[in-house]
Amino acid sequence: MAGLLLLLLYLAAGLFIVRCLLPRQSPWVRAWLGLSLGLFLMMWLPALIAFLRPFDALTQWLSLLPLALTAFLAWRFRDAAPLKAADAEDHKTLTLLLALALPLSLLGLYLQHTHVLRPEDGALFTGQATYGDLPLHLSIVTSLEGRTLPADYSILPGLRLGYPFLADSLSTSLLALGMSLRWAVLLPGAVMMALVFSGYILLARRLCRTPGAAALAALFVFLNGGLGFLYAFDMAGVSLGQAGQNQLQQGQWLERLQNILQGWYQTPANHAEFTRYNLRFSNLVADMLLPQRTFLAGWAVLLPCLYLLLDMVKNGEWNRRQTLLLGVMAGGLPLIHTHSFLALALASAGFLAYGLVKREKTAPYLLYGGVAALLALPQLLLFTFGQAGQGGFLRLQFNWVNNPGGGGLQDLYPWFYLKNIGLPFLLALFAMMERDAFRRRLFLGAFAIFVVAELVLFQPNEYDNNKLFYVWWALCAMPAADYAVALHGRLKGLRARPLIAGLAAVLMFASGALALAREALSDYRMFSAEDAAVARFARDGTPRDSRFVTATQHLNPISSLAGREIVCGPDLWLYYHGFDTQARQEDLRAFFADPEKNGGVPLRYGAGYILLGPYERALGGSAEALDALFELVYENPEYRVYRVPEG
């Protein structure tokens, strides 16, 4: 209950602050911006205090002091204008939120329930999308409790955690106040998904010409998937593949659908056989918002920033309070989600460039950019740039993942984007030809992102540039939706218009709908009952700063569930964060293969405990060898834990 109380206090404070600063906004926008600001402050204020003292329960309550000060300052410098009441347009917006944002939010809540450590007979289950990434986030959530910042990677001790961690430290705040790990991750995840769905619809409602266009833009973004379903059902009467080889075309007729709904990454929006189909523009909900917690938190802050900025741009008037709030939220983005910060900066530069051509005032941009840069620079210098310097970051490569390793295009350019985005991509191209000053500004900001993402890779994993492309597409989807609605209007009088609209809907949303259906049905055991039991021992029976010698698999109960340090985690994450783990992995293999000969390995890495489980046995570890050298302190049918004597 204490964790829930803290969350509610922050959300209430966010609502109060926005009420004071932005009374001229509509009620629904104020509510959304306030809740988003509350989460933003809950990510930042406890973390700031944790630079001075441990990240524990007391730190959470102490963070209410700067929160109260922030609320007081908002009240002291409040806008004296009366609160805007809901008008006819706001009632239309509410209808849109209830019709679209609410069902999407309920879907998000269901997916969080099924994918975040769902308990069953003592084991913990997840879904397809979160099977690979969730254990990393769990390791950050559980390891930050009781530590001061900056902290090391718990899965690579000795190296600073430069990965954006505030989305996970938000869950640590709830965990520190007694909330279970499952609910500490699930609850903020569900809230952020609701804010993202609602926020994009409110943004689209502000920028699109009609409520119908706003709804369509949201579907373009959240039901994205492109034309990949055509591959899945091409020549459906003949089985053209098998497991692991052309699997998307395995089986006949309904067997093709069964393969999509039950196979491992067999959806036509994101297929495991990348080189065969080149389907890479994954469904935003299933493959980004759900598993990528930093991406989710980034969009929960990015969308308010885009709204605050584009609302003023469209009005042609800059409100100083709104500009300062925009600068603060934008400046806090790097340690929430660096890609979102970069996308916002690029889009803002594009909007500014358009304003310079039109000889508009630049002072508001300088105020917004100056505040954002002042707040962002310490994060970039202390965390982001240090990790990027590890290697494998920032390299030139044209056409993103369609040109793997710079070895040549796989798909004809721009067919790659047409098949991955589908008909909405054509609509966006057509909309670019329309004469509309605001749309041109919007496209210029969007394509500032596109050009950079198309030419520069920012991480060793080239696929991660999609975190920039999704922001590009979120901006382009709105004029594309406007164009689609206008085109539909021009077809009035045609008897085939409903049929045309229905066929277009199938072409635009079939792949995305299949991806969401697959994710809703997916179910995998992440941790066994024995995994959970050994994690409980490690959490309750070893000191908080304990370090374990383990294998390097990604499903590690010691790092993910217990929050204890391990000597080395998996390259599945660490390689793409720019780290070379080869030496540590070789030492671990040598130790488990011959612990007597390599008995100094645990002390060399400061480890006080050794885990022996299925993965360690696969490296050659045996109970007989370890029993002869170390003290057994815990065992269950799958695991044994040994204490390392002090050197």
User: Where are the domains positioned within the chain?
Assistant: 2-127+162-222+288-451, 528-643
CA distances from 70 to 21, 67, 336, 645 (A): 12, 5, 20, 50
Residue 125's SS3 state is: strand
> In 523-622, at which residue ranges do the beta strands (DSSP E only) sit?
524-527, 547-549, 565-566, 609-612
Instruction: Say what the pLDDT of residue 9 is.
Output: 98
Average pLDDT over residues 149-159: 96
Instruction: Say what the pLDDT of residue 101 is.
Output: 98
Instruction: Say what the pLDDT of residue 274 is.
Output: 79
Task: Please enumerate, as own/partner, the contacts of 602-608 that have beta carbons within 8 Å and a separation of 24 or more.
Answer: 602/549, 602/644, 603/644, 603/647, 605/157, 605/547, 605/549, 605/567, 606/157, 606/547, 607/547, 607/548, 607/549, 607/567, 607/644, 608/542, 608/543, 608/546, 608/547, 608/548, 608/643, 608/644
Residue 258's SS3 state is: helix
- Percent of the chain whose pLDDT exceeds 90: 92
Over residues 411-442, the pLDDT tens digits come to 999 999 999 999 999 999 999 999 899 999 99
What does the alpha-carbon distance between residue 196 and residue 303 come to, in Å, rounded to a whole number?
A: 7
Question: Do residues 331 and 375 lie in contact, with contact meaning Cβ atoms separated by under 8 Å?
Answer: yes
Instruction: Say what the pLDDT of residue 389 is.
Output: 56
Burial of residue 583, with CB atoms counted within 10 A of its CB: 0-12 exposed, 13-18 middle, 19 or more buried: exposed
CA distances from 30 to 24, 83, 86, 127, 183 (A): 9, 10, 11, 34, 27
Does 390 have pLDDT greater than 80? Answer: no
Question: Do residues 56 and 149 lie in contact, with contact meaning Cβ atoms separated by under 8 Å?
Answer: no
Residue among 514, 297, 529 nearest 422 (CA): 514
What does the alpha-carbon distance between residue 406 and residue 400 come to, in Å, rounded to a whole number?
A: 9
Does 392 have pLDDT greater than 70? Answer: no
Over residues 83-140, the pLDDT tens digits come to 999 999 999 999 999 999 999 999 999 999 999 999 999 999 999 999 999 999 999 9
Question: Do residues 309 and 368 lie in contact, with contact meaning Cβ atoms separated by under 8 Å?
Answer: yes
Angle, helices 437-455/338-357, rounded to nearest 10 degrees: 130
Average pLDDT over residues 501-522: 97
Question: Per the structure block, which two tokens stand in for 6?
Answer: 């803290």
Q: How many CB atoms lie within 10 A of CB 267?
A: 31
Question: Per the structure block, which two tokens stand in for 181?
Answer: 């790990």
Instruction: Say what the pLDDT of residue 646 is.
Output: 84
Instruction: Say what the pLDDT of residue 99 is.
Output: 98
Residue 212's SS3 state is: helix
Instruction: Say what the pLDDT of residue 273 is.
Output: 86
Instruction: Name the pLDDT band for 244 (thresholds 50, 70, 90).
Output: confident
Question: Do residues 595 and 623 lie in contact, with contact meaning Cβ atoms separated by under 8 Å?
Answer: no
Instruction: Name the pLDDT band for 268 (thresholds 50, 70, 90).
Output: very high
- pTM reported for the whole predicted model: 0.96
Over residues 556-599, the pLDDT tens digits come to 999 999 999 999 999 999 998 889 999 999 999 999 999 999 99
Instruction: Say what the pLDDT of residue 400 is.
Output: 92
Instruction: Say what the pLDDT of residue 578 is.
Output: 86
Question: Average per-residue pLDDT in the chain?
Answer: 95
SS3 string, 340-356, reads HHHHHHHHHHHHHHHHH
Which contiguous run of DSSP H or E holds residue 528? none
Instruction: Say what the pLDDT of residue 580 is.
Output: 92
What does the alpha-carbon distance between residue 573 and residue 133 come to, in Å, rounded to a whole number?
A: 8
Does 2 have pLDDT greater than 70? Answer: yes
Residue among 390, 189, 223 nearest 293 (CA): 189
